[in-house]
Amino acid sequence: MESMEIDGGKTPSKGVNAGEEEKEKTKPIVLLLMGVPGSGKSTFCDEVMRISSRLWARVCQDTINNGKAGTKIQCLSLAASALKDGKSVFIDRCNIDREQRADFLKLGGPQTEKHAVVLDLPAKLCISRSVKRTGHEGNLQGGRAAAVVNQMLSKKELPKLSEGFNRITFCHDERAVKEAVNVYGSLGPLDSLPSGCFGQKNSDTKIQQGIMKFLKKADPPGNTGSEPTQKFIPNEIPVKKGSVFQRTKMGQRPSDESVEKFEKRNEVDITSTSGAISADSIPTLAFPSISTADFQFNLEKASDIIVEKVEEFISRIGNARLVLVDLSHGSKILSLVKAKAAQKNIDSNKFFTFVGDITQLHSQGGLHCNVIANAANWRLKPGGGGVNAAIFSAAGSALEVATKERASSLRPGKCVIVPLPSSSPLFLREGVTHVIHVLGPNMNPLRPDCLKDDYIQGCRILREAYASLFEGFISIVKSHGVVSKLNCGKSDEGIPTNDDQKTKREAVYESDKNKKCKGSQQDLEQKSKDKKVSKAWSSWAQALYDVALHPDKHKNVVLEMSDDVLVMNDAYPKARQHLLVLARVDGLDSIADVSREHISLLKTMHAVGLKWVDKFLSEDKSLLFRLGYHSVPSMRQLHLHVISQDFNSIHLKNKKHWNSFNTPFFLDSVDVIKEVKEAGTVTLKDDKFLAMELRCHRCRSAHPNIPRLKSHISSCQAPFPAALLQNGRLVSSEGTS
């Protein structure tokens, strides 16, 4: 489509009409970029517009006046005009404080969504970029830029949903920025994003310091950031070169007039910072204070026990998190626990307090919790008041039914772990997969089994209750790695990422710590050449190995077995039919280990897979299948995936799940056999494919999230890409394609 530039953004030429009907369905977005100079606001706009199918207009105050700096009024006028034309709008200004943002949040009608992307990158990175750049649109570079950045960094005010935003995304590093670019770049004209705050650091995190921090020029004692700070413009600034920080001359000190001119244009008047809890999708247990509400347990004693047990268990949860939740902003238990945890120097990334409704932490507070704890009654029944009634109500009848299957009653100090059915509203809306019912001691004479102020007994029971709760959470996170659980299908999410994070195991939960990956791409390539390279697999990754070499211990999961191979169901299938064909050869940990001597084994595995495909197709001719290997599995023992292409499964939950089966990362069995026969080894695909945007495996259309993608593929009837229809990669009732 022919396009032209408007203030750095692309917009259709006047002869193009997108259609009034589609225009009415589209929900335009006003996206405010917030960040100091050098944080990458303009680059963000350019990258999104380069890949997006949505119509965007960039409103940049530095160039709005015929290529020169303009006014806020001009920005508002141009933004309003772009919205009227059906475009979404980037507000490319610093937008440092609430007052700057207020007028832009009034743009558009009720259908216009208001988003913010906060580029809160490290101070030294922004300063270095600003100093070194040339030809900046607003002529903000060199020493003058460093001065402005320094002042802004010490004063900024982070946005809040209460200002009128539907969605706020906080980016604290370049990886997060890339993810945000992909999110907005993949939005189609009719797509929308979930509301809430995403990626924000703990509210206790101190505001970044600017240039003065790096020169060890501390603020005067008592300076809180709310009062004007002394302007200090040094003659040189540390700039990173390689791994060494060097001093780079910045020229003469800029005049206060030049600094103030830029501040005036961007309306810099920041007085404070604020924050909330990060919404990172890592294993998280949200729990209320047990026994301190309806059960009237002493708050001081309860807070001591909470901190004591958190301190005891915090080292065992890896990168998972514990979050104490209360509905009230004036909660005394939260205040007590927060203060005592700080005194104990407990890691605030692993344990913190949060104000919010425990049944709406994700949708209302942006905090994603896989597991929530319920302060239950001994009957494990709905009703009563407080947390118990709220959780049963929010989870629907599915929780009550699932709880009955687990237990009919509960003793004080004990817990019951209940996997939440996927039909539960709490699962669908909040992403909660387990509820842990826990019962503490009762000090309320109006309730059963009152201890009558026997705090010796009461404290013992409360300690048992928290220990039981935290043990239960740990078991949920780790149980998928226990051999006896046979969670052999949990390899998809456990593949290394580009930023060298440890492997995340594919399960209901994701846990970075204690997850061992197969190493870097270079390591993998070396391993395929040198079979003497050894790899230490963590205990959870040994499940398939144990099944393949000791099948007599796992007869209940083995579907078929011979001297060479074994067949079993994937424990967490990603489609209606999903099998694993395991090689029963010691030393074949993954596809990287195979060579020409294993061609016969690969053919046998493929043939066994096809036999099971024929069985499935005799039962349902509408199915289509692919057979293949992951380039970098997280589970030890070579295994072939036999998977139907409907991808209709509650276990398909995130981008890695999808991309591990629908990008070049998935190596078709027929191609593997051919390559090993010709080259003697397999070319492994880079894990960058796991971070690709979500695209339909049929029509290749892009989608912003898994729910949207699932909705699309359930009805998509487009033909498969030509490459899949060749060389037997796709198997149907009519034979291989």
Are 87 and 11 contacting, i.e. CB atoms less than 8 angstroms apart? Answer: yes
Q: Are strands 9-12 and 639-644 parallel, antiparallel or unpaired?
A: unpaired
Percent of the chain with pLDDT over 90: 39
Q: What is the pLDDT of residues 659-718, one digit of tens each?
A: 999 999 999 999 999 999 999 999 988 878 888 889 999 999 999 899 999 999 999 999
| pLDDT value at residue 133 | 66
Q: Report residue 159 as tokens.
A: 């946005």
Measured at the CA of 500, the angle between CA 538 and CA 673, to 5 degrees, comes to 70
Structure letter (DSSP) for residue 231: P
> Catalytic annotation on 639?
yes
User: What residues form DSSP beta bridges with 151?
Assistant: none
Interacting residues of 247 by C-beta distance below 8 A, sequence separation 6+: 236, 237, 238, 239
| pLDDT value at residue 490 | 37
| pLDDT value at residue 527 | 42
Q: With 70 as the cut, is the pLDDT of residue 144 above it?
A: no
Q: With 90 as the cut, is the pLDDT of residue 224 above it?
A: no
Lowest mean pLDDT among 237-246, 520-529, 619-628: 237-246
Q: With 60 as the cut, is the pLDDT of residue 194 above it?
A: yes
Q: With 70 as the cut, is the pLDDT of residue 344 above it?
A: yes
3-state DSSP assignment of residue 437: strand
Q: With 50 as the cut, is the pLDDT of residue 520 above it?
A: no
Lowest mean pLDDT among 49-53, 367-371, 515-519: 515-519
Q: What is the pLDDT of residues 360-403, one digit of tens each?
A: 988 887 788 999 999 998 889 887 668 998 999 999 988 999 99
Lowest mean pLDDT among 110-124, 193-207, 546-560, 582-596: 193-207
Q: With 70 as the cut, is the pLDDT of residue 140 above it?
A: no
Which residue would you say has higher pLDDT here, 399 or 526?
399
Q: Could you give the maximum distance between any two Cα atoms of the chain, in Å? A: 83
The mean pLDDT value for 519-546 works out to 55
Q: With 90 as the cut, is the pLDDT of residue 480 above it?
A: no
**Alpha-carbon span 737 to 731, nearest angstrom:** 6
Are 654 and 624 contacting, i.e. CB atoms less than 8 angstroms apart? Answer: no
Structure letter (DSSP) for residue 285: E
Q: With 50 as the cut, is the pLDDT of residue 477 above it?
A: yes
Q: What is the pLDDT of residues 489-510, one digit of tens each?
A: 333 333 333 333 333 333 333 3
Please give the full DSSP string across 555-596, using - where no structure is assigned.
TTTEEEE-SSEEEEE-SS-SSSSEEEEEE--TT--SGGG--G
Q: How confident is the model at residue 541 (pLDDT cuts 50, 70, 90)?
A: confident
The mean pLDDT value for 92-110 works out to 87
Percent of the chain with pLDDT over 70: 74
Measured at the CA of 723, the angle between CA 722 and CA 726, to 5 degrees, comes to 90
Q: Which residue among 434, 639, 657, 697 is the active-site one? A: 639
Place of tokens 């011979």: 562
Q: Report residue 251 as tokens.
A: 């020229």
| pLDDT value at residue 540 | 64
Q: With 80 as the cut, is the pLDDT of residue 261 above it?
A: no
| pLDDT value at residue 543 | 86
**Alpha-carbon span 326 to 363, nearest angstrom:** 16
User: What residues form DSSP beta bridges with 110?
Assistant: none
How would you classify residue 356: left for phi > 0, otherwise alpha for psi between -120 and 50, otherwise beta?
Answer: left
Q: How confident is the model at residue 253 (pLDDT cuts 50, 70, 90)?
A: very low
Q: With 60 as the cut, is the pLDDT of residue 462 above it?
A: yes
Q: With 70 as the cut, is the pLDDT of residue 76 above it?
A: yes
The mean pLDDT value for 515-540 works out to 45
| pLDDT value at residue 645 | 96
Q: With 50 as the cut, is the pLDDT of residue 725 above it?
A: yes
Distances, alpha carbon 489 to alpha carbons 154, 533, 585, 640, 687, in Å: 49, 25, 19, 11, 18
Q: How confident is the model at residue 245 (pLDDT cuts 50, 70, 90)?
A: very low
| pLDDT value at residue 506 | 33
Place of tokens 């842990």: 436
Lowest mean pLDDT among 263-267, 279-283, 340-344, 438-442: 263-267
Q: With 90 as the cut, is the pLDDT of residue 562 above it?
A: yes
The mean pLDDT value for 567-588 works out to 93
Q: How confident is the model at residue 239 (pLDDT cuts 50, 70, 90)?
A: very low
Lowest mean pLDDT among 87-96, 97-106, 112-121, 495-504: 495-504
Please give the full DSSP string across 148-169, using - where no structure is assigned.
HHHHHHTT-----GGGT-SEEE
Structure letter (DSSP) for residue 347: -
Distances, alpha carbon 383 to alpha carbons 327, 389, 427, 649, in Å: 18, 5, 20, 33
**Alpha-carbon span 40 to 101, nearest angstrom:** 18
Top mean pLDDT of 15-29, 165-179, 273-287, 466-480 is at: 165-179
The continuous run of DSSP H or E covering 119 comes out as: strand 113-119
Walk me through the domains of the chain, giving residue ranges and CATH numbers: 3-13+26-201 (3.40.50.300), 282-479 (3.50.50), 504-736 (3.30.428.10)
The mean pLDDT value for 576-602 works out to 93
Q: What is the mean pLDDT of the chain?
A: 77
| pLDDT value at residue 202 | 55
